[in-house]
Amino acid sequence: MARRNRTAELGLEAIAIEGGLIAPEQVLKIAGAERNAKTAADYGCPKGTNLADEITRYFRIGQALWLDYSKIDQPTVAQTARFAHDLLEQAFGFEDLTGPKDHHDGTRRYRIALEGKGGHIPIVIAAPVEDGDGFSKAMPEFGDGEGGRGRRNPVVLLQDWLNANESFYWGLVFAGDRVRLMRDNASLTRAAWIEADLAAMFRDEMFADFTAWWLLTHATRFGNPGQPPSSAPLEQWREAGMKSGTAARDRLREGVEDALREMGQGLIEANPDLRAQIEANEVSLTALFEELLRTVYRLIFLAVAEERNLLHPRRTPRNARDLYESSYGFGFWRERSRRRVARDRHFDAWEGMKVTFRALERGQDMLGLPALGGMFARGNTPVMDASKLPNRRFLEAIYRLGYLKQDGSLQRINWRDMKTEELGSVYESLLEIRPTLEANGEFALNSGAKGNARKTTGSYYTPDSLVETLLDSALDPVLEKAEAEGEAAEDKVRAILDLKIIDPACGSGHFLLGAARRMADKVAELRDPDAPDRQTALRDVVARCVHGVDRNPMAVELAKVALWIESVSPGQPLGFLDANIRCGDALLGVFDLEALDQGIPDDAYKPLTGDAKEAAAWYKKKNKDEKKGQGSFDFDSGTGAMPPKKLAANLSTIRRMPEDTVGQVERKREAFEAWKADPDRRATRVACDFYTAAFLLPKVEVPENYQRGTVPTTAGVWKRLGGGQVYGPLEAAAVEASEEARAFHWPLAFPDVLIGKGGFDVVLGNPPWERIKLQEQEFFAGHEAADAPNTAARTKVIKKLAEAEAGSHARLLYDAFQSAKRQSEATSIFARVSGEDGGRYTYTGNGDVNTYALFSEHFLNLLGPSGRAGIIVPTGIATDLTTANFFQFLLASKKLVRLVGFENEEFIFPEVHNATKFALLTLGTIALGKNPQFAFLLRNMEHLAEEERFFDLSMQDVRLINPNSGTSPIFRSKADAEIATKIFRRFPVIWSDEEARSDWDIKFLRMFDMSNDSALFQDELGSGLIRATM
C-alpha cells in the first residue's frame, strides 16, 4: 500500500491520494453523498432499491471475488485480468468490457487490457510483484514493441494513453489487488492518482472505504462516449475541488499574512532595543520583513518536507526520528499551537525552532537531520536569530500556517498535496506588502500595489492548463529532439541534462517547476524503467538545466525555495542555485558584448526629469567626439577584460562541481563568488555598468575638468575594457546606479549558455504586462496622492510633498518618486535605442512601450539556433500596430510557430477583466514549406481540442488580407480563414497605403466638422448647415 496520507485522517485507511487529483475533502464529500432515490438512479440502481443496500450487496460480491483471487499463489497477468474483469462487471457497473486491445500511433503501442464503454474507459492490468511494487515494474508487454520504447510500467502506459486521447480523461490500472484511478495529466506536475487497497478493504471489512471507492469509480462516473469529457462526474468533482482549492488558497494567503503580522508584532513587543533601532532607522523595517518572509519560507519547507517524508534520510534511526517528531518538528509545534494554554508569555517555542533551523544548516545526528544549508544559513536572518519571540505570538503564527477554517470546521492544511506553484502564488502576492511601525507600537502590513490587480490578487498565478499547453508546444519538441539524438539510454539522459531552460521573469518559478518535472520524468524513466527515481532526477535537472531571472530579490529567493521544496532528496543538502536563479531587470542591461564595441548610444544623454539641458548636451557631444575615431574592439586579444570564451569556460567548470555534501555546496558557492569577483571579469562588468549608467545617472552640470565627468561616456567604456583605470568617483557612481536599477548583463550572468552554447534551448514565461511609464497611482499606493480624484489634484498633492522639509518622511517619499520616475524614463529611452545604434529592441522599442512586447523580442533573442520559446502575452502582439514590425519579422524569419488567442470571458485568469485578450505564443524555427498555426477567440481549454478552430497563415496571406497594417487578421474558425483568404485572392483591397490608391474607384470624404468647415455652419435657419448647440 502507498504511504499513508490525509485520507487516513479522514477515516479512510485503504485509500491513498497522491498529487491532489481529487482533494481528500472532496473524496469525503463523495463518500458522504446522500443515499436517496435520486443518487441511486444516478448510479443506475434499479427502481425501488436502496442505495446503501445495493452498496452492501456489491461489497459482498467483491469480497467473494477477492477471496477466490487471494487463494492463488503468485497470480499471473491473465488471472489478475479475470479478477479485475469480474469485479468491475459484477460490482462496479461495467457492463460491456472488451479487450485486450492494442492501439498504435506511429512507433507507439498502447496495450490496453480492458476497455469499458467502447474504449471510453481504459483499464491496464499488471500482476502483483512479490516484495515489490507492481505499479512501477516495467515490462516488455507494456512497451511499444519494435521501434519504440522497449519497456514501461503499467502506470506510465495508462498515463501515456490518457495523454494521447482527447475524448476521455480517466482510467484505471490494476497491480494485483491494488487499483489506481488516474487522469490525463500531460503536465506531469507530479504523480497524481487515487489508490485503493482492495485486499485491505475486503480482508478487514473496511466497508466505509469500499463505499467511498465504489461511489468514486462506478462506471457511471466516467461519463459516456460522444459527450464532452468535462461532463463526466469525475471531472465535475475535480473541478469543484479545484474551485474549493482556489478559495482555500485565498484563505491561505490571509493565514500567511497573519503569521507574518504575529511574528512581527512579537518581535516588537519582546525586544524594546529592536524597536528603538527601527525608530532610529538603524534597522531597516523592510529588511526585517524580508527576514520574516524567509522564516515563513523555512516553516513551510519543513511542513512540506515532513508530510512528503523527504526530510530524513531513509536509514535514519527510529529513535532520532521520534525525538524530532515529538519535540522539534513543524508537526509538533502545529499540534501544540492548538492548545491555547501553550500560547503563554514564555519564549521556549521560538528558541526550540531556532535549534531545528541550526540543525538543518549543518546537520544534527541526534535528530536524524541532514545538513541542508541553503535557506537555513544563519546569515539570512541575523535580527530574528538574535531576538526573542513570545510563545503566544509564535504559536499563533504556527497555527495560521497549520490550519484553515472551512465550512465552519477546522481543517489541517494539506501541505503534502499542495502544488508548490499554488504556494508560490500566495507568496508572490505578499512581496508587494509594505510593513510599517505605528506610533503605538503596532506592526502593520499594508499592500503596496493599490490599483494593480496583477499584484494584489492571484491573477498572476498562471493556471496549470496554460502552463501545460505552452510546455506541449515549446518544451516537448526540444525534449523529443534531444532524446532522439542519443542511441543508448545514458546518451539520451546526457542530451536532456545538457538542455538549458530559462524564465526571464520567473516570479515563484511556476514555469520552471513544470518544465523541470517533465524533464525529470524523462530522465528517471530512461535511467531505470523498472523503478524510476524521479526525486534524484529532479535534483539533477534543477541543478543542471533550470535558470531564472526576476527583478524582485525576494521573488528570486521564493523561486529557489520552490525548487528546493520539489527537488530535496533525503540525506542530501539543498542544491546550489545562486548561479542559476539570478536577481536583475531582464530588460535593462547589456545583452551582447558587441554593444560595448559600438560605444554608448547618443540617446543615452537625452535630458530626463531633473537634468540640465546644457549638461546633457555637453555629455552627448563628448560621447560623439569619442566615438568618431572608433575602431574594432577585439575582446579576445590582450586587454584588461576577461575574454568571453574564458568567462563561459570558467563558469562551466564551477557548474560541474559536486554538491552532495554541505561542504561541497559551500566550496561551490565560494568558487562562484570568486569567479564573480575576478578582476578581469570585473573590468567587463564595470564597462557594462558604464554603458547602462549613461542612461540612468543625472546630468545636472557641466564638469569643470574634462576628465572629471560624473556621467560615463564611450571613452570610459573602452578604457576600462582595455585594462585602464578611470576616474574613481565616476566608476563608483556608475556601478551604484546600475546596481540600484538592478541592471542585468546577460553575457556576464550566463556566459556558458549565451556565449558557450549560443543561447537557451527553451525560454518560458508569463512576463509582466505593464507600461514602462511610471504609474503615479501605483507608486503612491496607500498615500493620499493615490486617492486623489484626478490628475490635477494628484499633481497638487505631489507638489506639496516636494515642499516638505528635507529628511522628512514626505520629502523622502517625493525624492523616491523622482528617482523612480527618472529610472522609468531612462528605461524607456534605453528600450527605444535603434538596432543600428546597438539597441536591444529593434522591433518592439517604439510607441508607448509595454514590457510584454519587449519581453517577446527578448525571449526570441535568448534562443539558441534550434531552441523554442513559449510566452503568454496580450493578443495585441500580433494584432496591434505598435508590434506590427515584430509580427512581420517573425513571419519573414519563419520564427513564429504557433499563436493561440484567448478571450477571458470564462475567466481562465479569474481576477483579470473578462474583456482581456491574451495569447499563447510559441517561437522557434519552422520547417521550409510550413506555415505558423493560429487560433483566436478561444474561451476555455476545451476549445484547444477543436481542430476546426485552427488555421495556417503564411506571410503572403497576412499581407494579402492586411496589407496596410501588416498585423494578423482574426478569424473564429478555419472555415472563416479559408473563405476570407479566397476573397482577398480574387479581389483587391479597398485601399492600399503603399500605392496610395484604390482599385474600387472609391472616394473617401471627411465628415463636416468645425475645424475645416466652419464657414458652412450658421446659427440660424438658411441655406447653410445648422450648428447644433447644447
What pLDDT shows up at residue 458? 35
Of 176, 202, 231, which residue constitutes the final position of a domain?
231
Q: What is the rounded distance in angstroms from the CA atom of residue 152 to the CA atom of residue 142? A: 5
Judge whether residue 808 has pLDDT over 90.
no
Instruction: Quickly state the pLDDT bin for 18 (edges 50, 70, 90).
Output: confident
> pLDDT for 965-981, tens place per residue?
999 999 999 999 999 99
Q: What is the mean pLDDT of the chain?
A: 88
CA pseudo-torsion sign 776, 778, 779, 780: positive
- Is residue 435 classed as helix, strand or coil in its secondary structure? strand
pLDDT band at 7 (very low <50, low <70, confident <90, very high): low
Q: 184 and 38, same structural domain?
A: yes
Interior/surface letters 501-516, b for 16+ CB within 10 angstroms, e for the rest: bbbbbbbbbbbbbbbb
Grid coordinates belonging to 110? 498502447
Tell whether the model's pLDDT for residue 415 goes beyond 60: yes
For cell 535528530, what's the residue?
367
Alpha helices, DSSP H only, in 271-402? 272-279, 285-307, 318-327, 330-337, 348-362, 382-385, 391-402
244-258: pLDDT as tens digits:
656 666 778 888 999
Question: Phi then psi for 612, rounded to 5 degrees?
Answer: -95, 130
Confidence of residue 902 (pLDDT cuts 50, 70, 90): very high
Mean pLDDT of 51-69: 95
| Maximum Cα–Cα distance across the chain | 110
Residue 392 inside a domain? The answer is yes
Q: How far is the C-alpha of 523 from the C-alpha of 886, rounded, in Å?
A: 37
Host domain of residue 106: 6-231
| Residue 1021 burial (CB count, 10 A) | 7
Amino acid (1-letter code) at residue 436: T
> Is 50 exceeded by the pLDDT of residue 449?
no
Q: To the nearest 10°, report the CA torsion of 900, 901, 903, 908.
A: 30
Which has more pLDDT, 533 or 939?
939
- Residues 123, 20 share a domain: yes
Measured CA to CA, the distance from residue 73 to residue 56 in angstroms comes to 28
Q: Are residues 257 and 131 in the same domain?
A: no
Residue 252 included in any domain: yes
For the segment 418-446, the average pLDDT, to the nearest whole number, is: 82
Tell whether 284 and 207 lie within a shared domain. no
Going by pLDDT thresholds of 50, 70 and 90, the confidence category of residue 735 is very high
- In the chain, % of residues over pLDDT 90: 58
Same structural domain, 32 and 119: yes
Cell numbers placing 852: 510584454
Mean pLDDT check: name the lowest of 6-15, 325-334, 534-543, 697-706: 6-15
Angle at 920 between CA 454 and CA 913, to 5 degrees: 35
Lowest mean pLDDT among 90-99, 663-672, 994-1003: 994-1003
| Residue 144 forms part of a structural domain | yes
Q: Phi and psi at residue 2, in whole multiples of 5°?
A: -65, 160
Higher pLDDT, 111 or 426: 111
Residue 555 has pLDDT above 60, yes or no: yes
Mean pLDDT over 424-439 rounds to 79
**32 is a domain residue:** yes
CA dihedral 150, 155, 160, 166 (to 10 degrees): 160
In order, the DSSP letters of 364-420 are BGGGTBPP--GGG-GGG-HHHHTS---HHHHHHHHHHHHEEEETTEEEE--TTTS-H
Residue 343 and residue 196 share a domain = no
Q: Which of 416, 447, 478 is the last residue of a domain?
A: 447
Identify whether residues 299 and 382 lie together within a single domain. Answer: yes
Specify the higher pLDDT residue, 25 or 178: 178
- 221 and 261 part of one domain: no
C-alpha cell recorded at residue 241: 475541488
Query: Minimum mean pLDDT among 495-504, 650-659, 989-998: which range?
Result: 989-998
Mean pLDDT of 340-346: 83
**Length of the chain counted residue by residue:** 1030
Low-confidence winner among 30-34, 345-349, 562-566, 630-634 (lowest mean pLDDT): 630-634
Alpha helical stretches, state H, 433-503 = 453-456, 464-470, 476-485, 489-497
Nearest to 898 by CA among 952, 854, 941, 962: 952
Give 188-217 pLDDT, tens digit per residue: 446 789 999 999 999 999 999 999 999 999
pLDDT above 60 (res 737) = yes
Q: Tell me what pLDDT residue 466 has.
A: 92
Cβ 965 vs Cβ 883: under 8 Å: no
- Return the pLDDT at 455: 45
pLDDT of 575 higher than 60: yes
| 9 has a pLDDT exceeding 70 | no
Summarised one tens digit per residue, pLDDT across range 479-523 is 999 999 988 999 999 999 999 999 999 988 999 999 999 999 899
* Number of domains making up the chain: 3
Q: Residue 549 has what DSSP assignment?
A: E
Burial of 176 (0-12, 13-18, 19+ CB in 10 A): buried
Task: From 447, 482, 514, give the residue that closes a domain.
Answer: 447
What's the pLDDT at 456?
Answer: 35
Tens-place pLDDT, residues 811-851? 888 888 888 899 899 999 999 999 999 999 999 998 888 99
Whether the pLDDT of residue 606 is over 80: the answer is yes
Flag whether pLDDT at 243 surpasses 70: no
158 and 14 housed in the same domain: yes
Is the pLDDT assigned to residue 634 strictly greater than 60?
Answer: no
Rounded CA-CA distance 882/847 in Å is: 6
At a CB cut-off of 8 Å and minimum separation 6, what does 857 contact? 840, 841, 842, 843, 844, 886
Return phi, psi of residue 566, to 5°. Answer: -75, -35
Does the residue 1024 lie in any domain? no
- Distance separating alpha carbons of residues 224 and 720, to the nearest angstrom: 72
**Rounded CA gap, 511 and 518, in Å?**
11
Q: CA angle, corner 347, sides to 342 and 353, nearest 5? A: 90
- Phi and psi at residue 276, in whole multiples of 5°? -65, -40
Spell out the residues 6+ positions from residue 295 whose beta carbon is closer than 8 angstroms to its own: 263, 381, 384
The HSE-up count of residue 898 (CA atoms within 13 Å, CB side) is 17
The Cβ of residue 855 has, within 10 Å, a number of other Cβ atoms equal to: 25
Query: Does the structure show a pLDDT above 60 at 6?
Result: no
32, 130: one domain? yes
Residues 151 and 249 in one domain: no
Does residue 426 belong to any structural domain of this protein?
yes
What 3-state class would DSSP assign to 529?
coil
pLDDT (mean) for 38-65? 91
What's the DSSP call for residue 630? -
Cell reading at 474: 515549446
Is residue 817 within 8 A of residue 798, CB to CB? The reply is: yes
Q: How many CA atoms lie within 13 A of 780 on its CB side?
A: 23
Please tell me the distance from the alpha carbon of residue 815 to that of residue 830, in angstroms, as a whole number: 22
Whether 2 contacts 21, CB under 8 Å:
no
Residue 1005 placed within a domain: no
359 with 334, same domain: the answer is yes
Residue 854 inside a domain? The answer is no
Q: Could you tell me which residues are beta bridge partners of residue 902?
A: 918, 938
Q: What's the sign of the alpha-carbon dihedral 364, 367, 372, 375?
A: negative
